Chain A
Amino acid sequence: MSVKIDFQDETLFCKLKGEIDHHTTLPIRLDIDERIENCRPQNVVLDFTDVTFMDSSGIGLVMGRYKILNELGGKLEVTGLSDNSYKVMRLAGLDRIANIKKGGKKNGN
């Protein structure tokens, strides 16, 4: 699991890659939060296109970033979700708090 972060036009773009579980989430979270703290972006995009697996740790990842952005007045967008990741997000009702979009790889969760 890795994350590539770019900041451009007030948007922090985080491209996630690999498997998201309890083991892999912590370092990624710290990376993203540090950049949010430094850049104070108006928008944050979490791109899941290259995520091959996600369990409920992914919910925590999205929900935690949502809370931080809510306090800072920023918006969160989640893109490129596979069918399975989308299913997990929907279960948590994340479609009600963030803009979540499908479009990830067809194979794999």
Chain B
Amino acid sequence: MVINEFKMTVDSRSINESFTRATVSAFASQLDPTVEEINDIKTAVSEAVTNSIVHGYKNEVGRIYISVKIHKEGLIVVSIRDRGCGIADIKKAREPLFTTLGGDRAGLGFSVMESFMDKISVRSTPNKGTTVTLYKKICGRRK
């Protein structure tokens, strides 16, 4: 059951990476997370949003749709969706160190998301877009 929800849309400009992770983590703070939990969410969101910017909308500026749902029992579900180029081979894209970009991109975005969140799901259709959903149960400081 969803007890609180938040949605926003941002342009796929790299300057919005910090704004997006800060906003999602501010919304998540109502669950009274630990510093580590909030940083895990921030880092995973940063990876997903960066993917939409550098891969999804490689040659254009598009919109990134973010939704954050807080469920009962402290489960937070963050969905990051773009209408960009999509991923042809999701399995390959999720392999550690795989990157279609050269330079200093490490190819570890999905690895970071997987290890910092409880679960992630990736849905994508070439030329239609990609949705990455991040799940994490917040145990918080109350325990």
A residues sitting closer than 8 Å to B (CB atoms) are: 19, 21-25, 29, 53-57, 59-61, 63-64, 83-84, 87-88, 91-92, 106-109
Count contacts between A and B, CB distance < 8 Å. 72
Residues A59 and B108 in contact in the complex (CB < 8 Å), given A21-B50, A23-B14: yes
Give A67's nearest chain B residue, CB to CB: B104
Further 17 A-B residue pairs, CB within 8 A, beyond A23-B18, A108-B35:
A21-B17, A22-B50, A23-B14, A25-B104, A53-B39, A55-B47, A56-B109, A57-B105, A59-B108, A60-B103, A60-B106, A88-B43, A91-B108, A91-B112, A91-B115, A106-B35, A109-B42
Q: Closest CB-CB distance, B45 to chain A, in whole Å?
A: 9
Contact B115 A55 (CB under 8 A): no
Contact A22 B14 (CB under 8 A): yes
Contact flags B11-34 to A (C-beta < 8 A → 1, else 0):
000110110010000000000000
* Chain B residues near A57 (CB-CB < 8 A): 50, 104-106
- The yes or no answer to B93 lying at the interface (CB within 8 A) is no
- The yes or no answer to B120 lying at the interface (CB within 8 A) is no
State the main secondary structure of chain A at its contact with B. Answer: helix
* Chain B residues near A63 (CB-CB < 8 A): 104, 106
Contact A22 B54 (CB under 8 A): yes
